[in-house]
């Protein structure tokens, strides 16, 4: 996945507003996986992925229903933003664990 900017987080949160509460973490994890896959595709093929775009979280989020942007005073929007940040942290931690495992296996 390409570098994550505030606009990526906003786009993902806008999508999560349209998702039922109990599915938000799973959907968020799927967004991150698809952004990873799209980035790998774009690097390998030299063009954006036909469905998921250029490997940004924003591009993947825009392929789905997006609600209007809200302010952080909206509790649901704030929750969605927090879900994105938590999922992103877990996603990165998981990738770091895999990198260490692969490095260990090479030695």
Domain boundaries, the chain: 6-106
Tokens linked to 25: 């973490």
Instruction: For residue 66, give the nearest of 18, 6, 9 by alpha carbon.
Output: 18
**Contacts with 83 (C-beta within 8 Å, 6 or more apart), sequence order:** 13, 16, 24, 25, 28
Q: What is the pLDDT along the chain (107 residues), one digit of tens a residue?
A: 999 999 999 999 999 999 999 999 999 999 999 999 999 999 999 999 999 999 999 999 999 999 999 999 999 999 999 999 999 999 988 876 555 545 545 55
* Longest CA span, the chain: 51
Beta bridge partners of 49: 53
pLDDT at 98: 57
Element (H, E) at 82: helix 75-106
| Cα 75 from Cα 98, distance rounded (Å) | 35
pLDDT at 94: 82
pLDDT at 103: 54
pLDDT at 70: 96
């Amino acid at each position: 996945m390409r570098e994550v900017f505030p606009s990526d987080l906003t786009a993902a949160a806008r999508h999560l507003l349209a998702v039922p509460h109990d599915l938000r973490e799973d959907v968020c994890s799927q967004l991150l996986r698809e952004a990873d896959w799209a980035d790998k595709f774009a690097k390998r093929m030299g063009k954006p992925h036909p469905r998921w775009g250029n490997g940004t979280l924003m591009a993947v989020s825009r392929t789905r229903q997006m609600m209007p942007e809200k302010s952080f005073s909206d509790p649901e929007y704030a929750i969605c933003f927090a879900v994105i940040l938590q999922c992103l942290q877990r996603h990165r931690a998981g990738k770091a664990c895999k990198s260490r495992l692969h490095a260990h296996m090479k030695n």
